[in-house]
Amino acid sequence: MKRRPLYSRSSKPRPAGDGPVPGLSPVYIEGPDAAPEGPLLRTRVANWWSGFYARRRAPVLLGGAALIALLIVGAHDLLRPLPEPLTQSTLNAAVNFAIDHRPPQPAATAVAYARIIPSVVRVDGYDPLRPNASGSPDERGGSPNDPTSPSPLHSKSAIPGYENSSVGTGTVIKDDGTILTNLHVAASAAKLRVTFADGTEANASIVGAEPENDMAILKPDKVPDDLQPATLASTAGLNPGDPVLATGFPFGIGPSTSAGIVSGLRREFEEEGRPRLSNLIQFDAAANPGNSGGPLVNMNGEVLGIVTAILNPSGSRTFAGIGFAVPIENAARPVMGESPL
């Protein structure tokens, strides 16, 4: 702050030439509101900050917190070590680790089996009980003197007065319970009984037949509430070498499934006592007596055909690597019409 000199209040004029007393310096007096410049500035800044903080407390606190967070993040980034450069060996190790630790995937055949099995039924044939050696009916459900007689479905016959005389397979193709099977399965016994995938049992009757394709249509007298019909697939794009699955009840055991490939197309098969069959799918998935009427499916679980026969040049009724199925277009025609797909 500027200081002003002290002058005499006397009204007498100073003689000309008079000046300050030699050897003395002028005396200055501070103004009445004078204060040290540093403390005054601090006081003013403190007063301004107090007022500003009182009026803007929330934004100030929020801004301070944000600033502190930014400082922390910045310090973390500065202190974090630089990542190692990506090399081919590092990339290979990462890929191998991912492959080794990926969850196991089910086989394609397992997926196909899971999709078709709800539509596969067991077809049991029953004939009137035959007398045993004593002349009374044999209540065990099979003939003790016939080694080729299949094992009974139950310890006692499911149909009173009848014995279990044959076993085959059927494929549900409509949700009303319509079942496709082979005619040689359905026509081989006096009475038929089917067992669905959920264990439901029902008597069944033949409501349609097509001998030229060895096909029969069955209708059960009751069906499960959640019955799932099979999905049918066209054989137009089928080729030798395509994978297939055959599911059924070979020798009454099952449901059983076997995997193989399509061995050929448009094959013919003729057996004594049966019509000549043509336009058949040849496959090498294992099939045996009891598989007849079961589905031949692709890896999506879709039905390509109905298993109908096996060929064994030795004359034995066991699988020798050659099986035949009626294409589903022919097999389902009596049910679905001229164009079933």
The alpha helices in the chain, defined as continuous H runs, are 37-55, 57-79, 88-100, 108-116, 183-186, 328-331, 333-336
- Taking residue 139's Cβ as centre, other Cβ atoms within 10 Å add up to 13
Catalytic residue among 214, 256, 263, 284: 214
Output the furthest CA–CA distance in the chain (Å, rounded). 175
184 is catalytic: yes
- Taking residue 97's Cβ as centre, other Cβ atoms within 10 Å add up to 10
292 is catalytic: yes
* CA contacts within 13 A on the Cβ side of 272: 1
The length of the chain, given as a count of residues: 341
Catalytic residue among 119, 157, 166, 292: 292
Coil, helix or strand at residue 51: helix
Catalytic residue among 184, 256, 258, 263: 184
Nearest CA to 185 out of 333, 317, 292, 310 is that of 292
The alpha helices in 145-235, defined as continuous H runs, are 183-186
Active site residues: 184, 214, 292
